[in-house]
């Protein structure tokens, strides 16, 4: 395989495949560590579901780059699986936070500790990437150089490439956000050695 003879589309798919492989590498590494030190199933099950989000997004975006005839329903099916998994990740992340903060939930959905408080909603940052690509296309910066490609298809492909690249970063950050050290016993041994040294 000679990279110098590849066209832009082939290089994009090759780079995106490499991004997916890197994302898989970092995720499988963290996943195997959590499975090896399986000490707190309630927390670690939520962590595993959360860390699997990066490869699912990367694979979905990579498959979205492939040009397969009649594949629009298949890609729509994959996107719906991704969206359902995102809802599961949000629920598991909330459950993990409740577990970390020792917040109990009574039979009604609102946690006892936040009843009666005003809840402020966060700003929806996730839309900016797609909106930025739409603006660039409307300004004529993103153009179709081929008659068989629409600008919308190019926007979608750029969005998929960006997601593949972002998932590498997220999978690396997850190494620090969900380390295995609290479950491996390393923290306890470090605390004991620090107390002995004092």
CA distance 196 to 130: 54
User: Residue 135 has what pLDDT?
Assistant: 79
Share of the chain above pLDDT 90, in %: 31
- Taking residues 52-72, report their average pLDDT: 82
Among 33-37, 72-76, 114-118, name the most confident range: 33-37
User: Residue 126 has what pLDDT?
Assistant: 52
pLDDT tens per residue across span 96-106: 988 888 776 65
Examine the pLDDT at 53 and tell me if it is beyond 70: yes
Token pair for residue 97?
Answer: 């936070």
Q: Which CA distances in Å does 2 have to 5, 6, 8, 16, 98?
A: 6, 7, 13, 17, 52
- Taking residues 28-45, report their average pLDDT: 93
Going by the DSSP 8-state scheme, the letter that residue 5 receives in this structure is G
Average pLDDT, the chain: 80
Contact 13, 66 (CB under 8 A): yes
Could you tell me the pTM of the whole model? 0.73
- Taking residues 36-55, report their average pLDDT: 92
**pLDDT bucket at 197, cuts 50 / 70 / 90:** low
- Taking residues 56-80, report their average pLDDT: 81
pLDDT tens per residue across span 128-166: 777 777 777 777 776 666 554 566 677 777 888 888 888
User: Residue 19 has what pLDDT?
Assistant: 94
Please report where in the chains the tokens 């997601």 appear, as a residue: 163
- Taking residues 13-22, report their average pLDDT: 93
């Amino acid at each position: 395989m000679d990279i110098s003879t590849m066209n832009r589309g082939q290089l994009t798919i090759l780079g995106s495949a490499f991004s997916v492989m890197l994302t898989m590498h970092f995720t499988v590494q963290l996943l195997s560590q959590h499975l090896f030190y399986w000490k707190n199933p309630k927390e670690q099950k939520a962590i595993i579901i959360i860390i699997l989000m990066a490869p699912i997004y990367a694979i979905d975006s990579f498959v979205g780059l492939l040009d397969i005839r009649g594949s629009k329903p298949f890609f729509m099916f994959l996107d719906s699986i991704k969206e359902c998994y995102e809802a599961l990740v949000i629920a598991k992340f909330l459950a993990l936070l409740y577990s970390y903060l020792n917040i109990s939930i009574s039979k009604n959905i609102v946690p006892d500790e936040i009843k009666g408080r005003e809840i402020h909603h966060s700003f929806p940052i996730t839309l900016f990437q797609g909106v930025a690509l739409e603006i660039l296309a409307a300004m004529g910066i993103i153009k179709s150089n081929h008659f068989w490609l629409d600008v919308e298809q190019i926007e979608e492909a750029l969005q998929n490439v960006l997601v593949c690249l972002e998932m590498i970063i997220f999978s690396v950050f997850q190494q620090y956000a969900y380390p295995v050290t609290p479950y491996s016993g390393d923290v306890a041994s470090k605390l004991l050695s620090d107390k002995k040294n004092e």
